[in-house]
Structure 1
Amino acid sequence: MTRKKGWLQGVAAGALQKLSNFDNSRDRIKALLSMFDTVQHNSTKELLSPAVLKIIQAAAAFDVETAKEAGALGYMAKAMVQATIPHSKPNTAYFERENGIYTLTMSAPSKIGLPYGTKPRLLLLWLTTQAVKTKKRTLVLGDSLSEFMNKLGLAPTGGRCGSITHLKEQMKRLFACSITCTRDDGSGWAVNNIQIASEANFWWNPQEPDQAGVWDSTITLNEDFFESLISEAVPIDMRLVGLIQGSPMAIDVYVWLTYRLAHLKKTTFIPWPLLHAQFGSQIVRRDNFQRNFREALHRACVLYPEAKVEPTKAGLTLRPSRRHIAC
Structure 2
Amino acid sequence: MNNDNLNKLITESLAIEEAAAKEAGKLGFMARALVQATLPHSEVDGNEFERTNGAFTLSMLAPSSVGLPYGNIPRLLISWLTTEAVKTRSREVILGDTLTQFMHELDMAPTGGRWGSITRLRDQMTRLFSCFVSCSYVGSNMTGVRNIMIADEANLWWSPKNPDQAALWQSSVRLSERFYEEVIENPVPIDIRALKALRRSPMALDIYCWLTYRLSYLKKPTQIPWGALQTQFGANYATTQEGTRNFKKKFLMHLKKVLLVYPDAKLEDCGQTLLLKPSPTHIPKLYDLK
Indicate whether the TM-score tops 0.5. yes
Question: Which residue identity does 2:236 align to in structure 1?
Answer: Q
Identity %: 50
Q: Does residue 1:276 correspond to 2:230, yes or no?
A: yes
For residues 258 and 249 of structure 2, what CA distance do their matches in structure 1 show? 14
**CA pair 132-29 structure 1, distance change in 2 beyond 3 A:** farther
Equivalence for 1:169: 123
Deviations 1:260-311 (A, max 9, x none): 0001111110001100000000122222211110011111111111111112
Question: Which residue identity does 2:129 align to in structure 1?
Answer: F
Equivalence for 2:277: 319
Question: Which residue identity does 1:315 align to in structure 2?
Answer: T
Equivalence for 1:140: 94
For residues 190 and 224 of structure 1, what CA distance do their matches in structure 2 show? 15
Which of 16, 23, 30 is 2:8 aligned to? Answer: 30
For residues 15 and 23 of structure 2, what CA distance do their matches in structure 1 show? 16
- Root-mean-square deviation over aligned CA pairs: 1.8
**CA pair 29-236 structure 1, distance change in 2 beyond 3 A:** farther
Question: Which residue identity does 1:279 align to in structure 2?
Answer: F
For residues 322 and 92 of structure 1, what CA distance do their matches in structure 2 show? 41
For residues 207 and 9 of structure 2, what CA distance do their matches in structure 1 show? 20
Which of 221, 225, 246 is 1:288 aligned to? Answer: 246
The 5-angstrom pairing of residues 142-291 of structure 1 reads: 142-284=96-238, 285-291=243-249
Question: Which residue identity does 1:294 align to in structure 2?
Answer: L
Give 1:160 deviation, angstroms. 0.2
Compute the TM-score of the two structures, normalised by the length of structure 2: 0.92
Tell me if the contact between 1:60 and 1:305 (Cα under 8 Å) persists in the aligned partners.
Answer: no
**CA pair 205-31 structure 1, distance change in 2 beyond 3 A:** closer
Equivalence for 2:261: 303
Give 1:179 deviation, angstroms. 0.4
SS at match of 1:263: coil
Tell me if the contact between 1:83 and 1:103 (Cα under 8 Å) persists in the aligned partners.
Answer: yes
Question: Which residue identity does 2:202 align to in structure 1?
Answer: P
For residues 280 and 205 of structure 2, what CA distance do their matches in structure 1 show? 20
Stretches of structure 1 lacking an aligned partner (at least 5 in a row): 1-26, 35-58
For residues 29 and 307 of structure 1, what CA distance do their matches in structure 2 show? 21
Give 1:253 deviation, angstroms. 0.2
User: Which runs of at least 4 in structure 1 moved beyond 3 Å after TM superposition?
Assistant: 59-63
**CA pair 125-271 structure 1, distance change in 2 beyond 3 A:** same
Tell me if the contact between 1:28 and 1:60 (Cα under 8 Å) persists in the aligned partners.
Answer: no
SS at match of 1:209: coil
Give 1:228 deviation, angstroms. 1.2
**CA pair 61-150 structure 1, distance change in 2 beyond 3 A:** closer
Give 1:114 deviation, angstroms. 0.3
Tell me if the contact between 1:98 and 1:104 (Cα under 8 Å) persists in the aligned partners.
Answer: yes
Q: By percentage of residues, which structure has more helix?
A: 1
For residues 211 and 177 of structure 1, what CA distance do their matches in structure 2 show? 29
Count of residues in Structure 1 that have an aligned counterpart in Structure 2: 277
SS at match of 2:157: coil
For residues 122 and 181 of structure 1, what CA distance do their matches in structure 2 show? 20
**CA pair 31-223 structure 1, distance change in 2 beyond 3 A:** closer
